Amino acid sequence: MNNKSLVYLQSGGPTAVINSSLYGAIIEAKKGGFDRIYGSLHGIEGLINDDLCDLEMENNRDIELLKQTPGSILGSSRYKIPEDLKDPVYQKIIDTLKFHEIGYVLVNGGNDSMDTCAKLSKVAKTADYPLQIIGVPKTVDNDLVITDHSVGYPSAAKYVINTIHGIMLDGNSYSVGKVYIIECMGRDVGWITAASDLLSGECRPDIIILPETPFDLEAFLAKVERIHKQKNHVFVVVSEGIKFQQDEKVEVDSFGHAKLGGVATKLADIVRERTGLSVRDIMLGLPQRGGVAYMSKVDQLEAIGSGAFAVKALVSGESGKMVAIRRLSDYPYKSEFFLTDVMKIANSVKPIPASMLHSDRKMDTSFAAYLRPLIQGEPDLVYEDGILACSRFRYVKAY
Amino acid sequence: MNNKSLVYLQSGGPTAVINSSLYGAIIEAKKGGFDRIYGSLHGIEGLINDDLCDLEMENNRDIELLKQTPGSILGSSRYKIPEDLKDPVYQKIIDTLKFHEIGYVLVNGGNDSMDTCAKLSKVAKTADYPLQIIGVPKTVDNDLVITDHSVGYPSAAKYVINTIHGIMLDGNSYSVGKVYIIECMGRDVGWITAASDLLSGECRPDIIILPETPFDLEAFLAKVERIHKQKNHVFVVVSEGIKFQQDEKVEVDSFGHAKLGGVATKLADIVRERTGLSVRDIMLGLPQRGGVAYMSKVDQLEAIGSGAFAVKALVSGESGKMVAIRRLSDYPYKSEFFLTDVMKIANSVKPIPASMLHSDRKMDTSFAAYLRPLIQGEPDLVYEDGILACSRFRYVKAY
């Protein structure tokens, strides 16, 4: 037994480039140094249940198309690994690793996944099982600390910018005024929502509401009415995770069914009721994290690069680290990868810094300077009969 | 006074290619035969209020980018022209036409717009004002009769197909089952919703609900539970315009606020309540008609061609006709334009024919054979700094 095999995990919600990171890792790992290259099905669940697949795909087309295939092709997981390291699932994981002679683990995910990396490292050490683990960063939310940005965020931002652009051009076609309330992803941080501020002229949103700042409903309503009088249409972009200053009870009493929708629907109801204006609520929803049509080339290349860099880190003996990105210059955009301790990532969240916020519910110009270089470039996507071509890779269980 | 000027109107909801039709008309009209080329702002409202702009754009870039600019660049209108042809608005329209020496009108729209064409023709005749009017077909709904399909529908269909593809790949990433209910546009006809059936394999929707067939809630719920047991995830695609078989009262009593969302939200509530399953409702919303990222090249070329064909029809003395499309072959796809009487279009709606429906709530293969040729090809879209480049044409009021 030499433990020279590698396993790759995808975890958490998908991004437009999640399978591009996998692509980078496969291409690099195939260059040598590993006995076999496995994928774990549904993240950590695959290691617990011995549900692995072979990643040495024969079909070159299925490998190439990973770069534009939405969704987590290895399957994702909502399973939360136990805090207690003596929980029997950890022994099951060690058993799976041993059985397949796996000495290398790559975990593609956000801060929860980096916490998983840290736990696995500890458990392996206790069990005296030699294991190297490297994290590959991924999250549309852009909430990872230390790294300049998270892989996957630029494409989500670009999706939001271009989709809202289309909605605003549509809305501005009409002479009868309306309030549009558009909801973006981002439970704790507003990075995705804020991206809409890169639009300019009559397509720049009028109001941007972020979780980073307290939300004052009365001030918001006054502003909506003022803008409506000034320019007829009012475009509001709001993070799903904003907190209402108002009493939770008030919110519930007036609008019932919390299950009935997100914050855009609730806000739309309030604006309708309080101002009498015509309101349309729009949830951008799941396509934000799987909308490959607006994939950023910069993001795609960094995803591929980070997967490859993680493999190289394993080869050079590193463990317990996550691949992070350091920005070297804006124009032309240049960046480099480096390694950081997973523990530094695991328990922190990065909100938009105050310096990038503007007092009047728009973004400071430093935010656009930060984001604009990241959304550059459009990959040539391959279509078959008008439908995006996807990797037809299917799980073949490894024994 | 020679009445050799032309005016172009955009009407109804935008499509991904609405400004491509305008592009085709401008390019053709610039070849000669007209004194001036005007755009009417906000459809018929521009003719009523003498709000016209000059369309002989100087900037070649602004003309070229019309082919990828979402929204109605001339402004759309929700104004319904009066039934009574003696209404004073008609005199205002004649006054505007006279003042600008306009003898040619192009109306880009759906069946309501063709009704407007017919009314204007009658009024001009009564007023003894020489006027030629040609309709340029446009509607994402694909509900126009006589023409093989409506310009704009193929791109809406392609948007729906590719967006639902992404949502299903995302959903299928998870091991915990869920019911997804995805709502598409189409109040009276299900053409847009049905498009999702072109997806194949595990990304083919499980249930498609169309306005063309009566909706049986109990049968639907039983089917959702059966599919959930079989394959965990259930993907339902539903037209916004489906009719519930159930008593209207039942629907209202159980789910209150009709304003709170479309049919997907209502259905999701019912499924959640009756089956206890985890349900996510998704409205594809406005991007269906403005999502140029999934524009069909076939659609774009036909939009340009129909605009140009309409101008040629005016030059050859035609009036009271709409440009329609005749399909000549599927592979390779070939079509030609012809003229049809606007009155034949104005008062009819084309549902999906029974031959294209399948008993088990999926589509017959003849539907895919019809639609597939229309969604072929992807135009090269131009981006500036990661944001879709749009025509910066601004209204300059013509005096």
- pLDDT, tens digit, for every residue of B316-329? 999 999 999 999 99
Q: Which of A151, A8, A7, A12 is nearest to A80 (CA)?
A: A12
Residue B253 pLDDT more than 50?
Answer: no
* CA neighbours closer than 13 Å in the CB half-sphere of residue A297: 12
Instruction: Tell me what the mean pLDDT of segment B104-115 comes to.
Output: 94
Contact A228, B228 (CB under 8 A): no
Q: Do B78 and A176 touch (CB under 8 A)?
A: yes
**The tokens of A112 are what?**
């929860």
Does the structure show a pLDDT above 90 at A399?
no
Determine the pLDDT at residue A253: 31
Per-residue pLDDT band at B184 (split at 50, 70, 90): very high
State whether residue A328 is helix, strand or coil.
Answer: strand
State pLDDT tens for residues A22-31. Answer: 999 999 999 9
In this structure, what are the phi and psi dihedrals at residue B114, rounded to the nearest 5 degrees? Answer: -70, -30
Considering only CB atoms, which chain A residues are within 8 Å of B266? none
Pairing of strands A387-388, B52-54: unpaired
Structure tokens at B370: 């019809």
Q: State pLDDT tens for residues A341-396.
A: 999 999 899 999 999 998 766 899 999 999 999 999 999 999 999 999 999 876 66
**What pLDDT is stored for residue A259 in this prediction?**
38
Residue with tokens 């709000």: B51
User: What 8-state DSSP symbol labels residue B173?
Assistant: T
Q: Count other Cβ atoms within 10 Å, centred on residue B205.
A: 23
Residue B257 has pLDDT above 70, yes or no: no
> How high is the pLDDT of residue B245?
52
Give residue B361's pLDDT.
Answer: 66
Nearest-by-Cβ selection for A372 from B69, B383, B385? B385
User: What is the per-residue pLDDT for A249?
Assistant: 37
10 Å CB burial of residue B43 (0-12, 13-18, 19+) is buried
Cβ–Cβ < 8 Å for A112, A81: no
pTM above 0.80, yes or no: yes
Identify from B19, B66, B162 which residue to disrupt to test chain A contact, counting A C-beta atoms within 10 A and taking the largest count: B162
Which of the following is catalytic: B50, B115, B141, B364?
B141
Nearest to A173 among B76, B272, B388 (CB): B76
Residue among B358, B207, B73 nearest A174 (CA): B73
Over residues A131-144, mean pLDDT = 96
What whole-number percentage of chain B has pLDDT above 90? 81
pLDDT value of position A321: 97
Say if the Cβ atoms of B170 and A198 lie within 8 Å.
Answer: no
8 Å CB contact between A263 and A176 = no
Assess whether pLDDT exceeds 60 at residue A10. yes
Q: How confident is the model at residue B229 (pLDDT cuts 50, 70, 90)?
A: very high
Mean pLDDT of A115-125: 94
Res. A82 pLDDT band, cuts 50 70 90: very high
How near does any CA of chain A get to the CA of B229, in Å?
20
Q: Which residue, A49, A56, A145, is CA-closest to A92? A: A49
CA distance B24 to chain A (A): 20
At A294, phi and psi to the nearest 5? -110, 25
Nearest CA in chain A to B180: A286
Beta-carbon separation of A77 and B390 below 8 A: no
CA-based nearest residue to A190, from A146, A226, A243, A228: A243
Residues of A in contact with B384 (CB under 8 A): none
Asked whether residue A192 carries a pLDDT value surpassing 80, the answer given is yes
B50-103 tens-digit pLDDT: 999 999 877 889 999 999 999 999 998 888 899 999 999 999 999 999 999 999
Kindly report the backbone phi and psi dihedral angles of residue A198, in degrees, each rounded to the nearest multiple of 5, phi listed first.
-75, -15
Torsions phi, psi of A87, nearest 5? -60, 140
pLDDT bracket for residue A224 (50, 70, 90): very high
Would you say residue A288 has pLDDT above 70? yes
On the CB side of B184, CA atoms within 13 Å amount to: 33
Question: How large a percentage of chain A has pLDDT more than 90?
Answer: 81
Residue A200 has pLDDT above 70, yes or no: yes
CA distance A188 to B170: 22
pLDDT of residue A395: 66
CB-nearest partner of A285 from B282, B376, B385 = B282
Q: Are B279 and B271 in contact (CB under 8 A)?
A: yes
For residue B12, the model assigns a pLDDT of 87
To test the contact with chain A by mutation, choose from B160, B161, B163, B170 the residue with the greatest count of A C-beta atoms within 10 A, namely: B170
State residue B291's pLDDT score.
Answer: 78
B75 vs B393: CA distance, rounded Å: 12
Report the pLDDT value the prediction gives residue A41, as an integer from 0 to 100: 94
Query: Rounded mean pLDDT of chain B?
Result: 91
> Looking at B206-286, which runs of residues are DSSP E strands?
207-209, 234-239, 279-283
Q: Does the annotation mark B141 as catalytic?
A: yes
Query: pLDDT-based confidence at B1, cuts 50/70/90?
Result: low
Q: Is the dihedral of CA B339, B341, B346, B348 positive or negative?
A: negative
Q: Per residue in B279-323, pLDDT tens? A: 999 999 999 998 799 999 999 999 999 999 999 999 999 999 999
A243-276 residue pLDDT tens? 765 544 334 333 333 433 489 999 999 999 999 9
The pLDDT of residue B210: 94
Count of positions (residues) in chain B: 399
Distance from the Cα of A24 to chain B's closest Cα (Å) equals 20
